[in-house]
Amino acid sequence: MWNDVFEKEWEKRPGVLFAHSGNLGYEDCIHVADSLPELCRGTDEIG
């Protein structure tokens, strides 16, 4: 049961977002990965 609750909550997370210092909210952020390990394995330049 706990695992089911955890998985449902995990699916709601936005993943890793990239934001410039001037961003005031999530509207201008860019989704760059679903997890930190995925971000670290990526080879694309973010910026």
Q: Domains of the chain: which residue ranges?
A: 2-41
Helix (H, G, I), strand (E, B) or coil at 24: coil
pLDDT at 5: 57
pTM metric for this prediction: 0.55
In sequence order, what are the residues at sequence separation of 6 or more whose Cβ sits closer than 8 angstroms to the Cβ of residue 19? 28, 29, 30
25: amino acid identity, one letter:
G
Residue 16 near residue 36 (C-beta atoms within 8 A)? yes
Q: What are the tens digits of pLDDT across the range 1-47?
A: 455 655 666 566 678 888 888 877 878 888 888 888 888 998 878 77
Residue at token pair 């890793």: 16
34: amino acid identity, one letter:
D
pLDDT at 22: 83
